[in-house]
Amino acid sequence: MAQRPVIVDCDPGQDDAVALLMALASPESLKVLGITCVAGNVPLELTQRNARRICELAGQPDLPVFAGCPRPMLLPLTTAEAVHGKTGLDGSGLPEPTMALQDRHAVDFIIDTCLSAGDGEITICTLGPMTNLAVAFVKAPQIAGKIKEIVFMGGAALGPGNRTPAAEFNIATDPHAAQVVMEAGPPLVMFGLDVTHRVITTPARLDAITRIGSPVSEAVTGMLTFYDRNDPDRYGERGGPLHDPCVIAWLLQPDLFRGKQVHLSVETGSPLTMGQTVADWWGVTGKGPNATIMDRADSDGFYSLVVDRLSRL
């Protein structure tokens, strides 16, 4: 597999952390050009700190990490400490980072990196609210031609949300940014709750991570034990969903997932359904597809890949 140049835009978050570790463990497949951070699961001051903590855990303190937008485009910031803890990485036991945060703003890094690339060269992975990427498109819409695809965790096409009855957290946090991205032009690949709720960290799967027996597996075990959303009525079995790593897993092993090409948009006007990802599943609008929405996963294969990549660090 040829090395794919990627920018990872994230708001770590325990599941963001696992996704970053998987990406950093896969240099033969992914060339991580930089990590851009946004406010989401916790405020920006913590997400950029957490990204640096994960880089150091992975033994890659030279990877550039950039801080981006501290709030959504139009709405006040809502965070998710109830899920991720006060630090965003509760349970990890990781020390304060010593590597430097880059001076450049994340939005400028995204723009400059894309403009210096060939047409259709850069893959953008968004694991949190899409504020940084949307602002980049507003500031420099010409970057759209440089982007191969935008692979994102967010939304729910066929079921309810988890931030509101209609909307998933990442999209609900900044729906206006998400709609800017939907309309920007590059192909979209969506990993929403329809598929992430199929990859549950059961006790047996968590035990397989623990048995790796490394500082990385110890930190991940601690994070996922804290993050465990043990709700069999919601997920069908004991454990919690591992959302963001689906994005990286698809880049590494796309046959783990299946989906459908549809037209996708985001509700930004209704107080009742603000942030809902509206998928034209049966083509009733006549609008051409702009997204592939994943809704099926090989969960055992997914966790085998997670364990394999974490074992490399």
What is the domain-level CATH number for residue 298?
A: 3.90.245.10
Angle at alpha carbon of residue 137, lines to 134 and 143, rounded to 5°: 135
Is the confidence at residue 232, as pLDDT, over 80?
Answer: no
Q: Give the active site residues.
A: 243
Domain limits at 267?
Answer: 4-311
Q: What is this structure's pTM?
A: 0.97
Do residues 51 and 39 touch, judged by C-beta distance below 8 A? no
Q: What is the pLDDT of residue 64?
A: 98
Q: What is the pLDDT of residue 238?
A: 81
How much of the chain exceeds pLDDT 70, in percent?
Answer: 98
Q: What is the pLDDT of residue 21?
A: 98
Q: Any residues with CB less than 8 A from the CB of 188 and at least 6 apart, and which?
A: 149, 150, 151, 152, 181, 182, 264, 290, 291, 292
> Checking phi first, is residue 54 left (phi over 0); if not, alpha (psi -120 to 50) or beta?
alpha
The count of structural domains within the chain is 1
Bridge partner residues of 278 (DSSP) = 265
DSSP 281: T
Q: Which two tokens stand for residue 116?
A: 């210096």
Q: How far apart are CA 99 and CA 163, in angstroms?
A: 33
Q: What is the pLDDT of residue 271?
A: 94
Q: Any residues with CB less than 8 A from the CB of 286 and at least 6 apart, and which?
A: none
Is the confidence at residue 283, as pLDDT, over 80?
Answer: yes
Q: How far apart are CA 230 and CA 293, in angstroms?
A: 26
> Checking phi first, is residue 93 left (phi over 0); if not, alpha (psi -120 to 50) or beta?
left
Q: How far apart are CA 111 and CA 113, in angstroms?
A: 6
Is the confidence at residue 235, as pLDDT, over 80?
Answer: no
Kindly indicate the confidence band of residue 13, based on its pLDDT and cuts at 50, 70 and 90.
Answer: very high
Do residues 168 and 129 touch, judged by C-beta distance below 8 A? no
- CA proximity to 111, closest of 93, 137, 150: 137
Do residues 259 and 155 touch, judged by C-beta distance below 8 A? no
Q: Which two tokens stand for residue 30?
A: 């992914």
Q: Any residues with CB less than 8 A from the CB of 103 and at least 6 apart, and which?
A: none
Using only the alpha carbons of the chain, give its radius of gyration.
18
How much of the chain exceeds pLDDT 90, in percent?
Answer: 95
Q: What is the pLDDT of residue 160?
A: 95
Q: What is the pLDDT of residue 239?
A: 84
Angle at alpha carbon of residue 60, lines to 204 and 171, rounded to 5°: 65
Kindly indicate the confidence band of residue 237, based on its pLDDT and cuts at 50, 70 and 90.
Answer: confident
Kindly indicate the confidence band of residue 43, based on its pLDDT and cuts at 50, 70 and 90.
Answer: very high
